[in-house]
Amino acid sequence: MNIPFLGNWRKRHDGVRGAGLAAAVAADPDGVAELLAECELLRVRAGQRGLELDDSPASLVALDQLPPRWRDDPEELPWLGNDAGLYLGTVLVRNVPGAVWSIRPGGQPVVRLASGREIDVVEAGLDWAMAGSPELSQVYSESAER
């Protein structure tokens, strides 16, 4: 997975440079979580529709209610879906006790719950952006219950 802003983070953390995203999470989990929470495109598009994303479960419900105008732009769609997944992960990590970011081999960020279950949030975000299902709030609710 190509996360462009990670290069800037690595420049500030010389010991982690070149070691990969998994090593970055191990070395500075809060810093990586902060970077993954940026979701700039999603935040801009939501803001244009009057929705401020505050990293709460209620904001996922509000996102689910937005008209999916992003589907009109096939070039933006995967980027917005990626951001939606990272935002879902951010909400999980910030609101579900024991939830943490983890990196699968190959660089895919996922959220690991206290139970050990991994949620592929990026896949969920892409599914939501392309088809509207499953809803982000539904993925959150199902994950938070376990």
Pairing mode, strands 118-119 and 100-103: unpaired
Please state the rounded mean pLDDT for residues 82-107.
Answer: 95
* pLDDT value of position 106: 85
Domain ranges of the chain: 21-144
Please state the rounded mean pLDDT for residues 35-57.
Answer: 96
Rounded to two decimals, what is the model's pTM?
0.85
Structure tokens at 22: 């998994």
Over the stretch 98-130, which tens digit does the pLDDT of each residue have?
A: 999 999 988 899 999 999 999 999 999 999 999
Please state which CATH class domain 21-144 belongs to. mainly alpha
Over the stretch 12-38, which tens digit does the pLDDT of each residue have?
A: 544 444 457 778 878 888 888 999 999
